[in-house]
């Protein structure tokens, strides 16, 4: 008998399928996610090309990926809030605004990271 919590190939495959469904839902239902995917499609390869050494490459690639992750989490929070509280409520609005702020901070971090790494090369 398998130990409690054991995750075999079937469970791993199911988790992968659910993750792909989440990415599809993000793409299908969230314009911001689609825009940020387009940005990441440009920035990730560019970061791998422009980064000097592995640490710079990671520093340029990681922020756009974090933006995508935060956008998906923000969209999940918004979906749950809309399901639980379809009418306006101050706390529901606050939850949505805070999720949006998290994405904004990561976008700002992306711009700052790229600027700090690449600006000295072209200045």
Show binding-site residues.
Answer: 30, 71, 78, 87-89, 96-97, 100, 114-119
Which one of the listed residues 36, 56, 71, 90 is annotated catalytic? 71
Show binding-site residues for substrate.
Answer: 71, 100, 114-119
Question: Is 90 assigned a catalytic role?
Answer: no
> What is the torsional sign of CA 20, 38, 109, 107?
negative
| Positions marked active-site | 71
């Amino acid at each position: 008998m398998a130990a409690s919590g054991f995750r075999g190939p079937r469970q791993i495959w199911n988790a992968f399928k659910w993750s792909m469904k989440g990415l599809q839902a993000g793409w299908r239902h969230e314009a911001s996610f689609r825009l940020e995917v387009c940005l990441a499609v440009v920035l990730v390869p560019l970061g791998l090309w422009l980064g000097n050494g592995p640490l710079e490459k990671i520093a340029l690639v990681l922020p756009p990926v974090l933006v995508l992750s935060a956008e998906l989490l923000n969209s999940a929070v918004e979906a749950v809030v809309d399901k639980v509280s379809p009418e306006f409520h101050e706390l529901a609005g606050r939850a949505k605004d805070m999720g949006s702020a998290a994405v904004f901070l990561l976008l700002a971090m992306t711009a700052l990271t790229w600027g700090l790494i690449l600006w000295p090369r072209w200045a």
